[in-house]
Amino acid sequence: MTKTTNNIKLGLFVTIGTALLILALYLIGSKQHLFNDSVKINAVFKNVDGLRNGNNIRFAGITIGTIEKIDIISDSLVVATLLVDKESVKFIRKTSIADIGSDGLMGNKLINILPGEPGSAQVAENDTIYSLAPVATDAMMRTLSSTNNNVLDITQDLKQITKRINESHALWDLLADTGATQQIRTSIRHLETMTANATTVATDVESMIKDIKNGKGAVGKIVSDEHTAVEFETLLKNLRESSDTAKLALHHMHEFMKDLNITPGPLGVLARDTAMANDMRSMIHNMNSSTATLDENMKALQSNFLFRKYFRKQAKKKAAGN
Amino acid sequence: MSKQSRRSEFLSEVGNISAFTGKFFREGFKPRYEWSELFRQCYIIGYESFPLVGITAFIMGLVLTVQSRPTLEEFGAASYLPAMVAVSIVREIGPVITALICAGKIGSSIGAELGSMRVTEQIDAMEVSGTNPFKYLVVTRVIACTMMLPILVVLADGIGLYASYIGVNLKGIVSWNLYTTQVFESLTFSDVMPALVKTYFFGFAIGIIGCYKGYFSNKGTEGVGIAANSAVVVSSLMIFVIDLIAVQIADILGLT
């Protein structure tokens, strides 16, 4: 009885152990896509960048296969044979691109298959897809190094700018001044009004120009009517001639005045000699008094019988003329 | 004892063990087969060793995980913990720790049992009674050891990985699903197969050395103690030697 029980226990022990082993092997195999139906496709690279047999193939981030083998075909050509799950191969097209990447920053290398052009055909067994050149880490690091230097310069400049801004009392006063804000706001409002006015003016000018173009209004007529234009031209011509004549007259006048001023002629003397002016003034005074006397004499003459008849005849003639 | 006599003693020991192993292969596959004794030995060696091996594996898995976490966290790679522990347990820790535990438990018990049988002349009595003591005592034990150790190792690996899952979740949250995915993604056949194959050699070494030491123990009670002790010491050493050879072969075959 004990022997049978022991054998049962032993059987259980062995079964569990073996089952566990088989399960583990199955799980490992299924992770490596050993039990799935797969399709072989080739990917051509110039440089596989450390890719190894058994590395994963991903499409849209999902592992869809593994690399079966990698062969060097020529000095610049390496062909990797990819085992892709039959279920997933329908998403890969003839124009799909194989790109070598890595799982995380330090992880294993893998192939990312990028989807091809939507219209192109699906890959078949033993088809070849092309690849992107792998990202050269050295070149990337070199670029990164120069980028870092630039960033350093920029941050240093920024630091200085920030420091200056921080030290500027005027700027902070301006920022803290609520009155200034109000003024700026008012200015902006004025600017707005001004802009609106400018728009109106521009619209008016535009319509005016349109009117002018269409020959409306006085200016329009001038611009559009040929006859008016000729007249206007003649007018301008006459104006120019008049202006020239006036200019000449003024010139002569100027010359005359100059002569008057400079030359010691009778007119100059007349204009400047104060004694003569006094004489003339007394002469005119005498003439005035003489004229009054003459007037009186004339009135006496009218009353004289010799001439009375003549004056009456003149008065009658004047009355008949009115 | 002079150096030369020690050297010759060592060489004669190696020669005797080789001859003993040769005899095992000659006798072992000839009928009549001692099935009943084989199953009994399998039960004792496999089933009865399981609790000890299980506890050891559980503790090893847990401790390894907890100890590895700070170092991995230093590199910001704490998420690699399941993968790293899985590879460590499956490739090395599981087989070697289990083999050492079995060398201690099974090797000593076989050495002591056969030694005491030799001392009490039971083995001689067997020969007289017509039973082949080599077949009955040695072949069954060696085959049982060779067959049971891989199973113990597989179960120990399973327990160790479960303990590691608990260890990972002591200071973090990783679902069982994610844990198993990470573990089986990190493992490959080149991790499992060499480890599994070498456990057969570990089991064979434990069985054959335990049996040899016990079968040829000196007379007297002292001889039993020496047989048990040297069985454990030599089989433990042999485990590491086989491990060294196994890793070299795996490397040559490109399975690392």
Give the pLDDT of chain B (256 residues) as one tens digit per residue: 577 888 898 899 899 999 999 999 998 888 888 899 999 999 999 999 999 999 999 999 999 999 999 999 898 888 889 999 999 999 999 999 999 999 999 999 999 999 999 988 898 899 899 888 999 999 999 999 999 999 999 999 999 999 999 999 998 888 999 999 889 988 988 899 999 999 999 999 999 999 999 999 887 788 899 999 999 999 999 999 999 999 999 999 887 7
Look up residue B213 and give its two tokens. 């030491």
Q: Which residues of A touch B42 (CB under 8 A)?
A: 10, 14
Quickly count: other Cβ atoms within 10 Å of residue B10's Cβ: 10
Contact across the interface for B185 and A54, Cβ inside 8 Å = no
- Whose CA is closest to A125, among A68, A184, A55? A68
What contacts A180, CB < 8 A, 6 or more positions away?
A174
Contact across the interface for A10 and B184, Cβ inside 8 Å = no
Question: Shortest Cα distance from B18 to chain A (angstroms)?
Answer: 30
Q: Which residues of B touch A9 (CB under 8 A)?
A: 43, 47
Measured in residues, chain A has a length of 322
- Residue B37: burial class (beta carbons within 10 Å; 0-12, 13-18, 19+): middle
Plot region of A320 (φ>0 → left; ψ -120 to 50 → alpha; else → beta): alpha
C-alpha separations of A149 from A83, A109, A154 in Å: 44, 30, 9
Looking only at the bridges linking them, the beta strands covering A56-59 and A62-74 are antiparallel
Measured in residues, chain B has a length of 256
Q: How much is the ipTM here? A: 0.85
pLDDT tens digits for A65-79?
A: 888 889 998 888 899
B20-B23-B28 Cα angle (round to 5): 125
Q: Which residues of B touch A62 (CB under 8 A)?
A: none
Instruction: Please indicate, yes or no, whether the overall pTM of this predicted structure exceeds 0.90.
Output: no
- pLDDT band at A257, cuts 50/70/90? confident
- Residue B59: burial class (beta carbons within 10 Å; 0-12, 13-18, 19+): middle
Closest partner residue to A31 (CB to CB) among B158, B184, B196 is B184
What contacts B212, CB < 8 A, 6 or more positions away?
B16, B17, B20, B231
Question: Shortest Cα distance from B184 to chain A (angstroms)?
Answer: 5
- Amino acid (1-letter code) at residue A117: E
Contact across the interface for B151 and A31, Cβ inside 8 Å = no
CA dist., res. B201 & res. A10, Å (int): 21
Contact across the interface for A13 and B192, Cβ inside 8 Å = no
